[in-house]
Structure 1
Amino acid sequence: MRTPETKSTFFEYMGFNSTITDKFELALPLQEHLLQEDGTIHPGVFSTMLDITMGATVSLATNSFAATINLNCSFLDLLPKEAYHAETNILKEEGKYVTAEGMIYDQNRGLVAKGIGTFKTTPRKDIKEGGDC
């Protein structure tokens, strides 16, 4: 069974670094394989980063598994920077549904992408051992 601390092969391929203290933090150093032919960062990198950081934040805050049901992203700067980090805030909790916002900053604290997502939570105790979540 996966936990917020579990890293996948995809996570490692992307090059993400995460830490969990009282919150989930996600960082990404620039890597060649993240660039498009024109030298810019592929927007999917930022979409993935936002989805991971918001989902993990929701999961930690609710002690639940968080499944993305809606994700909207805006990309403000796709020029490559040295490194990126993501921050998340929970905006609203309503029953099983949680809405969060995420921001991705470059190493100089310049905002490069932002997003808002809605997640459906499933309490960990409701997931059967060996389940596919």
Structure 2
Amino acid sequence: MNKEIVEVRKSFESSPFFSLVGFEVLYFEEGNVKIKLPVTNKLLNANETLHGGVHATMLDIIMGMTIRSVSKTRCTTINLDIHYIAPSTKGEIYATGKILKQGYKIVTAEAELIGEDGQLLAKGVGTFKLLRNEV
């Protein structure tokens, strides 16, 4: 694995928010990233299912990670569209993403959340701005 992609991976894994939620990187290669999240009681809503905000966060993060694995450039979310398909109450969920279209400054990506039983839980499409030469 090249040094640049190792640094990008570390930037996510060292994020306080990333560890607070409980994400774990399963693999991080250029254009091929997968993370998992154990469903814990602290992440459940009043219906005792995984909170929709957790789905949104996981979709957003996996798309950003996938984009950065390719572009090696920081990015920020411009738009995020989520389809909630099935609830989750226990076990682990997994996220993968892919780039649909990449321009010089704007990238469109999509992602899926899958339960440990293989069931599709949520899908998302996002538009991201690459922060080239910006602080």
TM range (shorter): 0.7 to 0.9
Deviation at 1:5, TM superposition (A): 1.9
Gap runs ≥5 in structure 2: 1-6
**2:16 counterpart (9, 12, 25):** 9
1:20 aligns with 2:28: yes
Does the C-alpha gap of structure 1 residues 79 and 63 become closer, same or farther in structure 2, counting only changes over 3 Å? closer
TM-score by length of 2: 0.85
Deviations 1:18-48 (A, max 9, x none): 1323422211011110001221110000100
Aligned partners of 2:65 and 2:29: how far apart in 1? 12
Deviation at 1:68, TM superposition (A): 0.5
Q: 1:20 is matched by which residue type in structure 2?
A: F
Deviations 1:91-113 (A, max 9, x none): 01122100000000000111000
Indicate the residue corresponding to 2:93 in structure 1: 84
Tell me which stretches of 4 or more aligned residues in structure 1 moved more than 6 Å.
none
SS of corresponding position for 1:64: coil
1:71 aligns with 2:80: yes
Q: 1:15 is matched by which residue type in structure 2?
A: G
Higher helix share: 2
Does the C-alpha gap of structure 1 residues 4 and 120 become closer, same or farther in structure 2, counting only changes over 3 Å? farther
Deviation at 1:4, TM superposition (A): 3.7
Deviation at 1:118, TM superposition (A): 0.5
1:50 aligns with 2:50: no
Q: What is the alpha-carbon root mean square deviation over aligned residues?
A: 1.6
Indicate the residue corresponding to 2:128 in structure 1: 119
Does the C-alpha gap of structure 1 residues 72 and 35 become closer, same or farther in structure 2, counting only changes over 3 Å? same
Q: How many correspondences in the alignment?
A: 125
